[in-house]
Amino acid sequence: MRAILVANPKGGSGKTTLATNLAGYLAKENQRVVMWDLDQQKSSLNWLALRSSELPAITRLGLERSETSQRVMEKNDWLVLDSPAGIQGKNLSHALKLAHKIIVPVQPSVFDMVATRDFIDRLMEEKTINKHKAFIGIVGMRVDPRTRAASTLEQFLSQYNLPILTYLRDTMVYVNSAFNGKSIFDLPFYQAERDLMQWQPLTAWVRE
């Protein structure tokens, strides 16, 4: 089983949007996916509760209390971890230990970039991460790559030598699909074509 952590200490940076859509993508690819929502707001689990049983299945962690982590690992191909704003300390260390890859969504605002800088610095201090720098990927969230905002974000990130996996545009496609527990991968192709294209480098990186 491989674990993907979506994290950024900033609220509203797009963690849950990324985590739910990533889970939706993997499920659509016939992968066995379990979600673990570390956020007390439980947005990912609320999304999952809205999801029709006719869509590709995604399970949630902790439904059966008796389930051991060994059993969870045997039963699933992927663990997608959604995390809360302000994650730090022991909770962060624990999540980082589990994760094979970490996706950090960043919006190109000065507030988000400053919060993210401190977070990336913290990640770089982490021993397990230090050895595998390649396993952190940045996603420019709600950005058009042709804009000045995108180049400001690129300039800011260039100091870290971390890959910007993709830019996801600001669109109601994410908002509307979430209303009924869908990811963009569950929509008719014509509704999500542009967004599916933007996801391609991200899904390739996750699965490589």
Ligand X SMILES: Nc1ncnc2c1ncn2[C@@H]1O[C@H](COP(=O)(O)OP(=O)(O)O)[C@@H](O)[C@H]1O
Instruction: Catalog residues that contact ligand X under the rule CB under 6 A.
Output: 11-17, 43, 85, 141-142, 168, 170-171, 174-175
Shortest distance, position 163 Cβ to Mg ion, whole Å: 23
* Closer Cβ to ligand X, 16 or 183, answer by number: 16
Please give the Cα distance from 78 to 57 (Å, whole number): 12
- Verify binding: residue 142, Mg ion, rule CB under 5 A: no
- Verify binding: residue 10, Mg ion, rule CB under 5 A: no
- Verify binding: residue 17, Mg ion, rule CB under 5 A: no
Binding to Mg ion (CB under 5 A): which residues in 22-61?
Answer: 43
Residue 181's contacts (CB-CB under 8 Å, 6 or more residues apart) are 47, 48, 49, 50, 51, 52, 55
Instruction: Compute φ and ψ for 153, nearest 5 degrees.
Output: -65, -45
* Beta-bridge mates of residue 168: 141
* Beta-bridge mates of residue 87: none
* Closer Cβ to ligand X, 43 or 76, answer by number: 43
Shortest distance, position 142 Cβ to ligand X, whole Å: 5
Shortest distance, position 15 Cβ to ligand X, whole Å: 3
DSSP-based three-state secondary structure for 4: strand
Please give the Cα distance from 157 to 96 (Å, whole number): 21
Q: Which residues bind Mg ion (CB under 5 A)?
A: 15-16, 43
